[in-house]
């Protein structure tokens, strides 16, 4: 782990403390965020953590806005290449096929159409036009899409005619950087691009998965609850294996589910909550060893600093790790070795934390005794002045 990753890992922990002033100070001392750190920012789950723990902190929101501006440019460039690669790979896989496209493949392309994204719609119709499909089934699918799009357009017009509601400033923080602050059940579990051709299909499948998650992202930003549910349901039905966590983090699905989840939608059936739980569980598994490594680097830097005392900000970070049951023994050893004041022990309620710890160690008992002796010494000094 390099220094930059350690800083972002620690930022994730700092944000979770909820200490607004500490968050601001920590962010302000970070090096500038740029294109090379975008993936690292996402992999630390910072967009979700900021939204959940400090959505009103200005420094955090400025950092998140910068992140979205940089990533928005990257994603636009990637999208064009992704579409072209998918188109070429799809044609190569199904070129010359005498049989009709499998139903699940047609359904995948029609989901692209339902996204209302002009690029995905154009891609899907172009591939359908160049392939053998069941015309009757296709017409029914297209009619269904047209009906739903028409209903959604009518609803948009009605909303525009009413007084504008106050919109959460977070809603416009999208990836352009703008901010106010399946018909065949037998195929459902199969890979949606299964084919007997000799082409290596994994790259095309990976791109299809990324497109599906990108569609879910845009549906959440648009608060299109029908498409949100359809997207999550389609992901669950057609995924032979779990999607890459990197994709969920790249498109900030956890943050967007937190902000615009579909709990008020009668057809949601808790799909958004199930997906959120899956993502956060995967994040926890992935982040645990990275978090531990960042903590150990942080402690090593404190030990190498030569400073005898610990600042309040440093103590806040150390006690956050301890309270989340990370390396409690290491924190205790550091507290014993450093000059921590009685006021600091009181402010951070360290004695209470140690007394309530389920399995106290000998060093914890020594630290408790040290704190009590310091308090008694302070009391004697105070009484001497009074008398």
Q: What is the pLDDT at residue 242?
A: 60
- Least Cα distance to 259 among 179, 320, 324, 155 occurs for 179
pLDDT at residue 166 above 50?
Answer: no
Give the residue with greater pLDDT, 366 vs 140: 366
Percent of the chain with pLDDT over 70: 75
Q: What is the pLDDT at residue 180?
A: 40
In the chain, % helix, strand, coil (3-state, to 5) comes to 70, 0, 25
Expressed in angstroms, the distance from the first to the final Cα of the chain is 57
Cβ neighbours of 349 (radius 10 Å) = 13
Contact at 8 Å (CB) between 31 and 4? yes
pLDDT at residue 128 above 80?
Answer: yes
As a whole number of angstroms, the distance between CA 110 and CA 376 comes to: 74
Length of the chain: 387
Domain locations in the chain as residue ranges: 71-284, 307-386
User: Which DSSP string do the residues of 265-326 spell out, in sequence order?
Assistant: -TT-TTHHHHHHHHHHHHHHHHHHHHHHHHHHHHHHHHHHH--SB--HHHHHHHHHHHHTTS
Listed range (86-95, 307-316, 337-346) with the worst mean pLDDT = 86-95
| Cα–Cα–Cα angle for 207, 44, 251, rounded to 5 degrees | 30
Q: What is the pLDDT at residue 139?
A: 66
pLDDT at residue 346 above 90?
Answer: yes
As a whole number of angstroms, the distance between CA 237 and CA 303 comes to: 52
- Say which residues have a Cβ less than 8 Å from residue 65's Cβ, sequence separation at least 6: 173, 177, 179
Q: pLDDT of 243-295, one tens digit each?
A: 688 999 999 999 999 988 755 556 556 778 888 898 999 999 999 999 999 99
Give the residue with greater pLDDT, 194 vs 60: 60
| 44-63: average pLDDT | 95
As a whole number of angstroms, the distance between CA 200 and CA 157 comes to: 46
As a whole number of angstroms, the distance between CA 384 and CA 14 comes to: 40
| 164-172: average pLDDT | 45
Give the residue with greater pLDDT, 324 vs 191: 324
This prediction has a pTM of 0.79
- Say which residues have a Cβ less than 8 Å from residue 255's Cβ, sequence separation at least 6: 47, 48, 50, 51
The 3-state DSSP class for residue 104 equals helix
């Amino acid at each position: 782990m390099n220094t930059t990753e350690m800083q972002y890992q620690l930022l994730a922990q700092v944000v979770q403390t909820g200490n607004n002033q500490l968050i601001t100070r920590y962010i302000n001392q970070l090096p500038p965020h740029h294109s090379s750190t975008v993936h690292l920012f996402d992999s630390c789950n910072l967009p979700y953590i900021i939204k959940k723990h400090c959505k009103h902190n200005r420094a955090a929101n400025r950092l998140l806005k910068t992140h979205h501006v940089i990533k928005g440019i990257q994603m636009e460039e990637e999208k064009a290449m992704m579409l072209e690669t998918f188109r070429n790979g799809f044609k190569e896989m199904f070129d010359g096929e005498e049989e009709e496209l499998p139903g699940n493949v047609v359904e995948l392309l029609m989901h692209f159409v339902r996204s209302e994204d002009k690029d995905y719609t154009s891609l899907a119709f172009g591939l359908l036009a160049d392939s053998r499909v069941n015309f009757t089934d296709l017409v029914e699918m297209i009619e269904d899409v047209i009906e739903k799009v028409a209903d959604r357009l009518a609803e948009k017009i009605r909303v525009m005619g009413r007084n504008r509601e106050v919109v959460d400033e977070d809603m416009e923080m999208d990836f352009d950087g703008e901010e106010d602050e399946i018909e065949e059940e037998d195929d459902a579990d199969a890979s949606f691009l299964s084919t007997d051709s000799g082409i290596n299909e994994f790259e095309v499948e990976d791109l299809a998965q990324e497109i599906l998650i990108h569609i879910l992202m845009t549906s959440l930003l648009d608060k299109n609850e029908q498409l949100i549910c359809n997207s999550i349901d389609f992901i669950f039905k057609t995924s032979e294996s779990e999607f890459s966590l990197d994709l969920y983090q790249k498109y900030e699905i956890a943050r967007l589910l937190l902000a615009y989840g579909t709990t008020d939608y009668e057809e949601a059936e808790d799909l958004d909550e199930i997906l959120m739980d899956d993502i956060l569980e995967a994040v926890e598994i992935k982040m645990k060893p990275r978090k531990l490594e960042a903590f150990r680097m942080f402690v090593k830097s404190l030990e190498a600093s030569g400073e005898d005392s610990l600042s309040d900000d440093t103590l806040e970070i150390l006690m956050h790790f301890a309270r989340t049951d990370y390396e409690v023994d290491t924190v205790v050893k550091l507290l014993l070795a450093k000059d921590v004041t009685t006021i600091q022990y009181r402010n951070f309620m360290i004695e209470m934390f140690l007394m309530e710890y389920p399995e106290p160690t000998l060093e914890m008992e020594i630290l408790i005794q040290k704190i009590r002796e310091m308090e008694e010494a302070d009391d004697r000094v105070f009484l001497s002045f009074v008398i």
